[in-house]
Amino acid sequence: MRLGSGRRAVRLAPVPAAALLAAVAAAALLMDSVLALAVLTAALLLLCTQAHARLRPYLFGTGTAALGLFLVWPFLQSTGIDVIWEGPIVPVLGQLDVTWEEIELAAVSALRLAAVGLAFSAYALLLDHDRLVASASFARHSALAVALATRLVPTLERDAGGLAEAVRGRGVKVDGVRGHARLLSPLVAGSLERAANLAEAMEARGFGAGVPTRAPGPAWAAADYAALAVGAALVLAAVLWL
Amino acid sequence: MALVDVHGLAFSYPGDEAPALADVSLRLEPGEVVALLGPSGSGKSTLLRALAGLVPHFHGGRFAGSVLVNGLDTRRSRPAALAGTTAAVFQDPEDQVVMALVRNEVAFGLENLGVAPGEIWPRTEEALDAVGASHLAERRTAELSGGELQRVCLASALALRPRLLLLDEPTSQLDPEAAERFLGLVAELGGTTVLSEQRTGRALGLAARVLFMEGGRILADAGKGDGLAWLAEHRSHYLPAQAHLERSEPRGEGVCRLNGVRFAYRGGPEVLDGASLDVRRGEIVALEGPNGSGKTTLAKIAAGLLEPAAGKVWRAGRAGYLSQDPGRYLVRDRVVDEVALAVGGDRARAKAALERVGLGWAAERHPRDLSSGERERLGLAAVAVAEPDLLVLDEPTRGIDPDRKAEIADWLTEYAAAGRGVLVATHDRTFPVDRRVSLGREALLAA
């Protein structure tokens, strides 16, 4: 994962990068300060922009969820005395009103969600997962299974699109849940076929031949140790002051 | 001593009565480059798998005879043990890629073989450099085009420094220029190479020896000169075909017209920038262009599967679209039902369409039991059965042997002659068409 841009960019090894992102997500969940959360979210957003177009679906998902939470939260709470809007009485929910305190709590919750979502986006989009799972010095086969599953998600997505398109190309509409559900079985069958082909290709490339070696990962630089320290400090600060 | 010694090899896949290989014997000397030709289902891929040890270890089945590779008997040595001595690149690169990043993908085989850690990255870089893919090292494999992935697969094979390189239609997704470059690289390697290709001109241009298979047997095994003579006498469709000459003037009533079409996939760069195209009834139009030039996108817009961001699309009547690799996108449990899907379950029409593509015998079989070439023809029947006014085909000759390609060409000629338009996005310049239009990287199209 790369922090910054141009000549001054710092490249982090996968393990410290993952640890830093996990610490950032944990700190976001522990913080109560709107300002600190906003700064953290902005920093994560800036980091995620390295992924360019691939960020869009993640940004859409995170943004929609955070905005939805911000809008709904005040109506699910009944706290504060500084009323800024007084609404009708709704059965079951009672009096609808919004206070400044509720807005602030809604902002905290929405920013927490946004920060955690963006930390996950950075993990999914910017990390070298192959090397991250390879860093586990045990359970090599399980680590490889995780790497394969990560890689095959976009393939599965493409296959699902291809199936729907193939049917539409024959003049048959693919509508609604039922229409798409009918494609589930061929999608699974296609995935199994892919899995068998992949297993064959792996065997042909020596998988299981004997004792494997591992390509050396980049040696940890000062920035990697600094990332671990920053992550720990962030969690501590969130607990004590933020 | 021969690098490969195959003696009396016979093999049947589990559940199949017909042998995939029968009485195959051959020797390969170090440094030989062999073109392996033959129709779909003739046993070419099975032979390559036998040389890699995947047959019988991975597939099971009945195996007789012997295959020695570099002195190792493949019945006693598992494919993983042969890896490094042999390396294979199969037809579909997406089914071979294991890792998420290109450089990790190339390193994967080296790690499996226990190469010293200090050697892994230098060999990875060397292999990527050899196939001109150094710039892809940090890219994610999921984001690469089919052509780029094929180069990465070749790099992964070369990184092992194999003595025997097995290539099963490795250029099927490349445009002609990229395919030439790819095979040029293979020629420079100097190792023993067995190359199976359906676009035979490429393989014959590279090879010094020709093997022709049919029905699981080797019908011809000769040096290039004698091999070409044998093909000329017995299987002339397999000789390198000349680029097909075509009429240049559009004719007939229009069936589809695209004017100034622009398109970009969500979040991506513009793929088409003002492309125009005209397809008339009664003609077959080839849409050409290098990998990434937007052929598939334009074909989908012509078929109504994508809406352009700008420009005009006019179509008379219905359109049908056959995607690349249609055999992967089959949705029914029986062949006849797969075809009947487009005609409201009319099995009689479906059976007639299957007969037309030579698959009448397979009507009650499961589509995934068919070979890849048969699946391609099934896909064609499934789209054409509804007799759309505009039939759009994306690389319909990929993986199709020359005999079947000639049959498809005849069938499409009849289809167009019945007053319908056919648009074929293809890299194959030998496919007979009425007119060709070129889609360059600048996405300007001369209709």
One DSSP character per residue, chain A reads -EES-GGG-EEPPHHHHHHHHHHHHHHHHH---HHHHHHHHHHHHHHHGGGGGGHHHHHHHHHHHHHHHHHHHHHH----S-EEEEEEEETTTEEEEEEHHHHHHHHHHHHHHHHHHHHHHHHHHHS-HHHHHHT-SS-HHHHHHHHHHHHHHHHHHHHHHHHHHHHHTTT----HHHHHHTTHHHHHHHHHHHHHHHHHHHHHTTTTSSS---PPPPPP-HHHHHHHHHHHHHHHHHHHT-
Residue B154 region by backbone torsions, left for phi larger than 0, else alpha for psi between -120 and 50, else beta: alpha
Contacts of B87 in chain A (CB under 8 A): 204-205
β-bridge mates for residue B67, sequence order: B6
Q: Which pLDDT band holds residue B149 (cuts at 50, 70, 90)?
A: confident
Average pLDDT over residues A167-190: 86
Burial class from Cβ neighbours inside 10 Å (0-12, 13-18, 19+) for residue B18 reads exposed
Q: Has residue A137 got a pLDDT over 70? A: no
Q: Among all residues of chain B, which has the CA nearest to that of A55?
A: B267
Closest B-chain CA to A1: B138
Scanning every residue of chain A, which has its alpha carbon at the shortest distance from the alpha carbon of B98? A148
Please list, in sequence order, all residues whose beta carbon lies within 8 angstroms of the beta carbon of residue A26, skipping any fewer than 6 positions away: A235, A238
Looking at the DSSP bridge assignments, the partners of residue B168 are B196
In this prediction, residues B172-192 reach a mean pLDDT of 80
- The number of CA neighbours under 13 Å toward the Cβ of B400 is 28
A197 → chain B, closest CA residue: B95
In angstroms, the Cα distances linking B161 to A75, B109, B137 are 66, 11, 19
Residue B178 has pLDDT above 70, yes or no: yes
Nearest to B341 among A53, A172, A211 (CB): A172
Considering only CA atoms, give the Rg of chain B: 23
The pLDDT assigned to A146 comes to 75
Phi, psi of B8 (to 5 degrees): 55, 40
d(CA A178, CA B378): 25
Q: Does B321 touch chain A (CB under 8 A)?
A: yes
Q: Average of pLDDT values for A219-226?
A: 85
Going by pLDDT thresholds of 50, 70 and 90, the confidence category of residue B294 is: confident
Percent of chain A with pLDDT over 70: 94
DSSP alpha helices (H): ranges in A1-99? 14-30, 34-48, 55-76
By the CB < 8 Å criterion, does B159 face chain A? no
**Predicted TM-score (pTM) of this structure:** 0.80
Put simply, whether B101 touches A (Cβ < 8 Å) is yes
Q: Say yes or no to pLDDT of B193 above 60.
A: yes
Are A204 and B305 in contact (CB < 8 Å)?
A: no
Cis peptide bond prior to B402, omega within 30° of 0: no
Looking at B353-434, which runs of residues are DSSP E strands?
A: 390-394, 421-425
Q: List Cα–Cα distances, B210 to B8, B193, B230, in angstroms.
A: 19, 12, 10
> What is the model's pLDDT at position A64?
93
pLDDT at A108: 93
B390 part of contact set with chain A, CB < 8 Å: no
Indicate yes or no: CB of B342 within 8 angstroms of CB of A172.
Answer: yes
Q: Which residues of B touch A172 (CB under 8 A)?
A: 341-342
Q: Cβ contact (<8 Å) for A206 and B113?
A: yes
- Partner residue opposite B90 with nearest CB, options A169, A201, A203: A201
Length of chain B: 447
A191 CA: distance to closest CA in chain B (Å): 10
Which residue in this structure is represented by tokens 């040696």?
A: A219
Q: Which of A197, A205, A215 sits opposite B121 (nearest CB)?
A: A215
Distance CA A116, CA A114 (A): 6
Strands A2-3 and B209-214: unpaired
User: CB A203 to CB B318 under 8 A?
Assistant: no
Backbone angles phi, psi at B197, to 5 degrees: -145, 140
- Per-residue pLDDT tens digits for A19-28: 999 999 999 9
Q: Does position A79 have pLDDT exceeding 70, yes or no?
A: yes
Q: What is the pLDDT of residue B444?
A: 39
Average pLDDT of chain B is: 88
Evaluate if residue A56 carries a pLDDT over 50.
yes
Q: What is the structure's pLDDT at B267?
A: 65
Question: What single-letter amino acid sits at B414?
Answer: E
Count residue pairs from A and B with Cβ separation < 8 A: 178
State the ipTM, two decimals. 0.83
Test B114 with A211 for CB contact under 8 angstroms: yes
pLDDT for the residue numbered A216: 85
Cβ neighbours of residue A124 under 8 Å, at least 6 residues apart?
A: A58
The answer to whether the Cβ–Cβ distance between A159 and B342 falls below 8 Å is no
- A133-147, A199-213, B320-334, B351-365: segment of lowest average pLDDT: A133-147
